[in-house]
Amino acid sequence: MTRILGVLLALAVALLVAQSVRVDRLKTANRKQAEQIKAWGEYKGAADADAQIAADQCAARVAEAAALAGRVSTLLQREVPRDPQGCPYRVMLSADELRRTLQPSAQSSADPAADGVR
Predicted confidence at residue 92, as pLDDT, reads: 84
**Interior/surface letters 19-31, b for 16+ CB within 10 angstroms, e for the rest:** eeeeeeeeeeeee
- 100, containing H or E segment: helix 95-102
Task: Kindly tell me if the per-residue pLDDT of 5 is higher than 50.
Answer: yes
Which band of pLDDT confidence, cut at 50, 70 and 90, is reported for residue 100? confident
**Which has the minimum average pLDDT: 40-49, 74-83, 109-118?**
109-118
Q: What is the pLDDT of residue 90?
A: 85
Residue 99 to residue 94: CA distance in whole angstroms: 9
HSE (CB half, 13 Å, CA atoms) of 89? 7
